[in-house]
Amino acid sequence: MWKGAQSSSFLKAQSLRKNETKEEKILWDKLRNNQLRGYKFRRQHPISLYIADFYCHQLKLIIEIDGEYHNLAEQKEKDQERTQILESNGLELIRFTNQKIHENLDEVISEINTKIDEIIHLEF
C-alpha cells in the first residue's frame, strides 16, 4: 500500500532499513522470508504519510516497535492519531515495546499470530 506515500518517505525508509534498531532486527529475523505462516512482511514500509516498522500487505497488518520515547505524553498523542488514521484506512495495527521484544519474543510472536487469526476470521 504505497498509495499516498511521499517520495521522501521512500528515501527515509531506505535509510531506516540500513540503520535498524536491535529490536527491529530481532523481530525481522522472525518475520523475513515468509517465516510467519507464509506471510510476506516488509520492513520500514511507506504507507501514506507514515513509515511502518513492518507491514504485511496481504493481511493489511502493521507491526510497530516502540522505544522509550513512545512513553512521552506528546508522542502517545501522535501515536494515537497515527493509529486512528491508519485504522480508518482499513489497516490493522499492533504495537510492542522494545522491552517486550527482548524479554518475551515468544509471546510477541504469539500475539502476532492471534492478530493474524482475528484478521483471517474477519475476512470470512
Q: Is the pLDDT of residue 116 over 80?
A: yes
Tell me, what's the pLDDT at 58? 95
Inter-residue contact 45 to 13 (CB < 8 Å):
yes
Q: Is the pLDDT of residue 96 over 50?
A: yes
Torsion of CA 107, 71, 93, 48, to 10 degrees: -140
Q: Assign residue 44 a region (left: φ > 0; alpha: ψ between -120 and 50; beta: otherwise).
A: left
Tell me, what's the pLDDT at 13? 46
Mean pLDDT score of the chain: 84
Which of 38, 59, 39, 57 has its CA nearest to residue 122? 59
Question: Which sequence spans correspond to the domains of the chain?
Answer: 22-40+54-123
Q: Is the pLDDT of residue 49 over 90?
A: no
